[in-house]
Amino acid sequence: MTRELDAHEPVALARAWFERPAAEVARDLLGSVLRCVARDGTVRMGRIVETEAYVGAHDLAGHASKGRTARTEVMFGPAGHAYVYLVYGLHELFNVVTGAVGDPQAVLVRAVEPLAGTVGPSGAERGDGPGRLTRLLDIDRRLLGHRVDRPPLTLHRGPEPTETVATPRVGVDFAGTEWASARLRFVDAASAQLSVSLTRLGPDGYSSRGVRDTSRTPST
């Protein structure tokens, strides 16, 4: 299923929009459209349906908990910039920096629904996974530190989710029970393009089903 990007929302979300706690931005980013001009010149877009918040230096699941290093430098900088890194030697993962300067918070985008006309390098890429959407949209470390309020990389308002669900984050068991079980992953419950099914159990045998948060901060 694909949807059209609303022609009345051509303006990218401003950097100031990201100057908030990562958990808020992560929730509000659901339904937004991530747009990237690929290296081959094509424009690729996906509607965000899954995000995760990494909430600061004290968040043991986040890279910044290891301190301020060359790798995490971008997270300590101003909001609205891209933090892109390689995991497992294979996959580029895309985050948006949030919060104030010196406070290393970021939102990881974990899944998108491809919008009409958007195809990956093999012509059949999916967007249901943090490593998959970057390949679909041609996002990689060349965009590290880039602003996200102007091309080639931008975020736009889109169809809001009817129901937002909060669950524990994926793949962060190493961080210990407290941080691994924190409900900092946000999904559009109606989407069929999630990286991990809602019916799947979270870490620690914790079921994500039934944990709901339908509130949204007012649009500005």
Query: Of 178-197, which residues contact DNA (CB under 7 A)?
Result: 195
Number of residues that make up the chain? 220
Please report how close the Cβ of residue 97 comes to DNA at its closest, in angstroms. 10
Q: Which residues contact 124 (CB under 8 A, 6 or more apart)?
A: none
With CB under 7 A as the contact rule, the residue among 25, 30, 93, 187 that binds DNA is 93
Per-residue b or e along 106-131, where b marks 16 or more CB atoms closer than 10 Å to that residue's CB: bbbbbbbbbbeebebeeeebbbbbbb
16-75 residues near DNA, rule: CB under 7 A: 52, 54, 61-64, 66-67, 69-72, 75
Q: How far is the CB of 33 from DNA (least distance, A)?
A: 19
* Site membership for DNA, residue 89 (CB under 7 A): yes
| Least Å from the CB of residue 184 to DNA | 11
Q: For residues 140-179, which are near DNA according to CB under 7 A?
A: 170-172, 174
**Run of H or E including 185:** strand 185-188
For residue 105, give the amino acid letter: Q
Q: How far apart are CA 100 and CA 18, in angstroms?
A: 9
CB of 132 to DNA, least distance (A): 4
DSSP, collapsed to helix, strand or coil, labels residue 108 as strand
Contact flag: residue 100 with DNA (CB under 7 A): no
* Of 154, 179, 166, 206, nearest in space to 54 by CA: 179
The one segment of 24-32, 89-97, 184-192, 209-217 that binds DNA by CB under 7 A: 89-97
Tokens of 116: 């009409």
Residues that bind DNA (CB under 7 A): 52, 54, 61-64, 66-67, 69-72, 75, 83, 85-91, 93, 95, 106, 108, 129-132, 170-172, 174, 195
